[in-house]
Structure 1
Amino acid sequence: MDGHVTIAARMDRLPITRQHRRATVAIGLGLFFDMYEIFLAGVLGTVLQKEMRLDKDALALLLASAFLGMFLGAIVMGVLADRLGRRRAFMVSLGVYSAFSLLGAFSTGPVMLVVTRFLAGVGIGAEPPVADTYLGDLLPPKHRGRYTALAYTLSFLAVPLCGFLARWLVPAAPLGIAGWRWMFVFGALGAVVVFLLRSGLPESPRWLEAMGRKEEAEAVVARFEADARAEHGELPAPVAGTTVSAGPARVGALFRPPHRRRTVMMTVFHVLQTFGYYGFGTLAPIVLVAKGFPIVQSLLFSALTFLGYPVGAALSLPVVERVERKFLVIGTAIAMAAFGLAFGLATTTWMIVVCGFGYTVLSNVFSNAFHIYQAEIFPTALRGTATSGTYSLSRLSSGVLPFVLLPLLHGAGAGTLFTVVAVAMGLVALDVALLGPRTTGRRLETVNAT
């Protein structure tokens, strides 16, 4: 085959095959447990505060612990994904998460719980950015957005599940064991199942080619081509492209033109987007308690509100390939600011549920769009490092948020809290508008051409 026809060009001209669909489902199930872990703290925060007699500072530390672990995990696993491979990074992260999530179920006190949640966070921390990178490497341009959104739609089923599980398990305490402990066990055992499913996934052929492992890349892409011919018949000829340079790239390249602009954009983006996305998800049940609702009732309202997460993710499927992703991120960020203000000021039950549901629907169109987007705007050799490195800041920001937003909630009320959230989301929209490139339907190599 022509020396200028790259592995990437051969992958990009393929239709969707059985292997693409299998990878999408396996990645989506892994992301399921990332979402489960993120929303677990907020759902159980009020329960653990009462059971373990946590003061406000201890509660903030408990809410922050998993996010701080995720910050460290995203950095470490992201670099691992670029150095040792996307698949190996997946397997290590799931193994670490499962072990410490199970250990957390046996916590004897607040210190052990905080430590185990921190270490479980280290394991699961890089799941979204490495998943974005892997699917971005694997999927053809015309289907990249839709299938990545499909993986996240599957993952967001974890959010209402987390809410309804808490609503059922916390009062029931099956076998005399506290319900919150069962929720940690569920996360651990589920991750083991996903580990086994992912063991059969291929390594990213784009990454193999970028590392100079041409024969392995050829073997992977040949399997995809064979599947495509079996399902769809003869394939179109690949378009000749620029030869990929082999070997790891230097991280410093992200801070020099032409990549510096995008690195700055995603750094600002991830520091701020957490105010709107994770701030709402982790604090909504606590906001409801602050409004005067009993704990069990607040868990029910949160579960109903959280139904918007999978609904929003599903609604993104027909949109992400039809609307330029840059503009989709901007529009949904602004809409989240408006619904967040309405939720913060709402006083009646129906307004709380409607505004919360609308907020979560919009937030997951936003989330799916930016997860696709962030994996499109960096070159293959640095995609894992860049995506995970900037994304890790969202985990750090989420870890700090309880120490900022909880005092704000208790001192100034939910209206002021969500005004701060709205300002942050407005700045997110401005950041992407000024610095973001267009990506929808374009080849990754074209988006990242120097």
Structure 2
Amino acid sequence: MTAFGPDGGQGGRGGGTGGTGGTITTDVPARLDRLPWSRWHWMIVIGLGTVWILDGLEATVVGNIASRLSEPGSGLSITDAQVTGVAAALYVAGACTGALVFGWLTDRHGRKKLFLVTLGVYLAATALTAVSFSAWWFFLFRFLTGFGIGGEYSAINSAIDELIPRIYRGRVDLIINGSFWLGAMGGSLLSVLMLNTGVFPLNVGWRLTFAFGVVLGLAILLVRRNVPESPRWMFIHGRAAGAEQLVAEAERRIEARTGRRLPEPDQAITVRTRKSTGFVEIARTLLRTYPRRAFLGLALFIGQAFLYNAITFGFGSILVRFFGVPSGDTGYYFAVIAFGNFLGPLLLGRLFDTVGRRPMISSTYLLSGVLLFLTAWMFGDGRLGATTMTACWCAVLFFASAGASAAYLTVSEVFPMETRALAIAFFYAIGTAAGGISGPLIFSDLTQSGVVADTVLAFSIGASLMVAAGLVAAFLATPAERRSLEDIAEPLSARAATASAPASGPADG
């Protein structure tokens, strides 16, 4: 139930308005965390999680169709370098910008409103990319496509973690973030079909590839309309009665379906409602109250960004230059690598909730780094062919993908709720910028030079940063498994309501 203080409206279950500035005591978080898995949760996962498939599709398809876009008769006057260079950089810049802008708006205006807006931006921008008639038009709408996708990361991750019960939160978050690779696999295979001129004309196939993303996005939008707002966000922002009603309805449906009454919640929290949280308070929280967690987030994001760029940025060139694989066949190899990436979170995700965050995050980072060092040694010694190199990459990325997904999980659960979306956006922007800007600058010449020692160096750089991040996680990762979000990081509004009371534990524990 939700009870309102003297300045917060009426008391009682489902009563009152809880306007901003009032103090309320609520058991909504505990009630959400003790729910058994149900169709209600599947709706959330399908409605919110499938957008990562779109991101994987977008990130993969442009690289695969770059050569077609630059061919005479494609309907677009653009060079291969402009597609893989300018357009890719603008997509990354858009994603970083969108993450920060929509991250701030998500914490201020709510999860549901923004995850509908960000998907709408993606749909419009992708549709307009499909009808590109010049290079500047293509560049503009690649930026706006990234702008929408970047906004999705903060809005969706924050909503997922606040709606999923604590005992499932780790595996669900990892699998959802790992579904990026289903999109990447689909994008690789889709490009093989769409670029077959025996099936589609030269100037049509690449446009249909983008149009397919629009169709998939519209289907996701129809499901997403039924996904609820985060009750946690609602009661902090003065909508306690709405949060109470939403959770009560979910409880009623689950009890009716199972035929069993849910156990009583075991704890409540008192907060002072607020409309928004300022940038200064958010920065102070991340850098002063939780500096070790902030350092951990940076280490995890930068480590995975460089490892992935060390492998994926030049994988096609490596297969073609060193192993004689035809350029038209590299998409099949990438599909295999993408499948290995998805298997990591799928098979290891449960262990993040049972074995624990710290051992699993550190071990996945360390194992992927060590395996990449081993791959670099075998490649430099001439022991690998195209098939065995791909197998090695799959082994590396099986662990790296679980670790990279855990980076998103970490920054979405270790900071207070009022800062969650912007914290996700901040670390995502840093990691994406490191991977999308520094990565290509470092790895492009190394992986495409045709010199074995250069590629070995590229692998070694990525492996070193991954191992370093794993060591940081071994000491600093927060044991967040099976704990409520409010226990991991007390909401700022709870501190405001009990400003004179000491904290229940060390802020950066």
Q: Same fold (TM over 0.5)?
A: yes
Residue of structure 2 in register with 1:127 after alignment: 152
2:365 pairs with 313, 325, 333, which one? Answer: 333
Residue of structure 2 in register with 1:403 after alignment: 441
Alignment of 1:353-372 (within 5 A): 353-372=390-409
CA change 1:70–1:89 in 2 (3 A) is same
Deviations 1:101-135 (A, max 9, x none): 12112223443322221110001113233222111
Residue of structure 2 in register with 1:234 after alignment: 261
Deviations 1:146-176 (A, max 9, x none): 3223434544321211111122222346441
Residue of structure 2 in register with 1:435 after alignment: 476
Deviations 1:303-322 (A, max 9, x none): 22222122223212432322
Which of the two has greater helix per residue?
1
User: d(CA) in 1 for partners of 2:208 and 2:333?
Assistant: 21
Report the identity percentage.
25
CA change 1:256–1:396 in 2 (3 A) is closer
Matched, 1:324 2:350: no
| Structure 1 residue 48: Cα displacement | 4.3
Matched, 1:65 2:86: no
Residue of structure 1 in register with 2:277 after alignment: 249
Q: Aligned partner of 1:9: which letter?
A: A
Deviations 1:315-357 (A, max 9, x none): 1243232221232222112222234345552641221221122
Alignment of 1:236-315 (within 5 A): 236-247=263-274, 248-250=276-278, 251-277=282-308, 279-291=310-322, 292-315=324-347
Q: Equivalent residue of 1:276, what SS?
A: helix
CA change 1:164–1:397 in 2 (3 A) is same
Q: Equivalent residue of 1:14, what SS?
A: coil
Contact 2:235 2:273 in 1 (8 A): yes
Contact 2:362 2:470 in 1 (8 A): yes
User: d(CA) in 2 for partners of 1:34 and 1:230?
Assistant: 37
| Structure 1 residue 277: Cα displacement | 3.0
Q: Equivalent residue of 1:142, what SS?
A: coil
Alignment of 1:361-400 (within 5 A): 361-400=398-437
User: d(CA) in 2 for partners of 1:314 and 1:408?
Assistant: 32
Q: Equivalent residue of 1:244, what SS?
A: strand
Deviations 1:361-412 (A, max 9, x none): 2232223333322211011111111111221212222320223321232346
CA change 1:113–1:157 in 2 (3 A) is same
Higher RCO (CA 8 Å, separation ≥ 6 residues)? 1
Residue of structure 2 in register with 1:32 after alignment: 53
Residue of structure 1 in register with 2:496 after alignment: none
User: d(CA) in 2 for partners of 1:18 and 1:422?
Assistant: 41
Q: Equivalent residue of 1:254, what SS?
A: helix
Contact 2:231 2:243 in 1 (8 A): yes
1:416 pairs with 457, 464, 471, which one? Answer: 457
Cα RMSD for the two superposed structures: 2.4
User: d(CA) in 1 for partners of 2:210 and 2:368?
Assistant: 30
User: Which stretches in structure 1 are left out of the alignment for 5+ residues?
Assistant: none
User: d(CA) in 1 for partners of 2:487 and 2:480?
Assistant: 9
Deviates more, 1:95-104 or 1:235-244: 235-244
CA change 1:415–1:111 in 2 (3 A) is farther
Contact 1:75 1:392 in 2 (8 A): yes
Q: Aligned partner of 2:38: which letter?
A: T
User: d(CA) in 1 for partners of 2:61 and 2:236?
Assistant: 38
2:216 pairs with 165, 181, 190, which one? Answer: 190
Deviations 1:160-206 (A, max 9, x none): 11111122222346441443322211112211221121111110000
User: d(CA) in 1 for partners of 2:288 and 2:78?
Assistant: 52
Q: Equivalent residue of 1:277, what SS?
A: helix
Residue of structure 2 in register with 1:92 after alignment: 117
User: d(CA) in 2 for partners of 1:75 and 1:212?
Assistant: 24
User: d(CA) in 1 for partners of 2:59 and 2:93?
Assistant: 11
Q: Aligned partner of 1:131: which letter?
A: I
Q: Aligned partner of 1:262: which letter?
A: R
User: d(CA) in 2 for partners of 1:65 and 1:290?
Assistant: 28
User: Which stretches in structure 2 are left out of the alignment for 5+ residues?
Assistant: 4-24, 491-506
1:169 pairs with 194, 216, 224, which one? Answer: 194
Q: Equivalent residue of 1:239, what SS?
A: coil
| Structure 1 residue 64: Cα displacement | 2.1
